[in-house]
Amino acid sequence: MSFCKVLAAASLATALNVSIASAATFTIDAGDVTVSGGDLCFPGDCKLDGSIKGGSFDLNTVGDTANLSNLFGWRVLTTSRWATGVGKYSVNATLNFSSPSPASTSASGYAGFITLLGSVSGGVLAWTSGSGIVDFSDGYRLSYTLNDALKLGFGTETTTGASFTLEKTPAPVPLPASALLLLGGMGVLGGFRARRQRATA
């Protein structure tokens, strides 16, 4: 492929990307949930541990929604496999995004559990400030809602999630700028063709 064709193709690709690019990958980093409160277990001790497992999702256009069902991990930690007891806590979490550009948001709520012989457990999680908006420096905006939970089952671990909706994308570069770039590439192509025809005449 000749240089002039490559230049024209690159100009066309650049023009299209400048005017329509909006898709992005959003990445939430793993981290800890701050848990504070009280518990009473016997034999041994128990407490609630929370973590942000993190994750990534792609959103293409305004209005698209993504669900991360395992964004948070929760565990009842016990010092005895036969521990039986209850706990009540306040929880605070900060979601740190590393892409498409650094951003963060915080949420708070409360959680509680009951566990029987370290085998059957139940828990409740309710976010009191679990929804909001995240603005990114490159122009993207997300709205989010963290999921409440009420669960009962075997074991001492569970997960909860959240949903994210794309509210805004970066403003595209005005079309005239990309059109001028495309016309410039086409002009170079025309110039090379005319030069070749004169050389072969």
Q: How many Cα atoms are found within 13 Å in the side-chain-facing hemisphere of 88?
A: 0
Q: Which residues of the chain have pLDDT under 70?
A: 1-22, 173-201
Residue 18: the pLDDT is: 44
Tokens of 83: 């521990």
Residue 181: the pLDDT is: 55
Q: Are 35 and 89 in contact (CB under 8 A)?
A: yes
Residue 15: the pLDDT is: 46
Distance in angstroms (rounded) separating the CA atoms of residues 168 and 173: 15
Q: Are 142 and 164 in contact (CB under 8 A)?
A: yes
What are the start-end ranges of the H helices in the chain?
3-20, 175-200
Distance in angstroms (rounded) separating the CA atoms of residues 201 and 187: 21
Distance in angstroms (rounded) separating the CA atoms of residues 12 and 18: 10
Q: How many Cα atoms are found within 13 Å in the side-chain-facing hemisphere of 21?
A: 12
Tokens of 81: 């496999």
Distance in angstroms (rounded) separating the CA atoms of residues 66 and 56: 10
Residue 17: the pLDDT is: 45
Distance in angstroms (rounded) separating the CA atoms of residues 43 and 83: 5
Closest alpha carbon to 36 in 124, 86, 111, 114: 111
CA distances from 1 to 9, 63, 185 (A): 11, 41, 15
Residue 102: the pLDDT is: 97
Residue 160: the pLDDT is: 98
Cis omega before residue 43 (within 30°)?
A: yes
User: Kind of pairing, strands 84-99 and 24-28?
Assistant: antiparallel
Residue 75: the pLDDT is: 95
Residue 176: the pLDDT is: 56
One-letter amino acid of 5: K
CB contact set of 131 (below 8 Å; sequence gap of 6+): 143, 144, 145, 146
Residue 45: the pLDDT is: 93
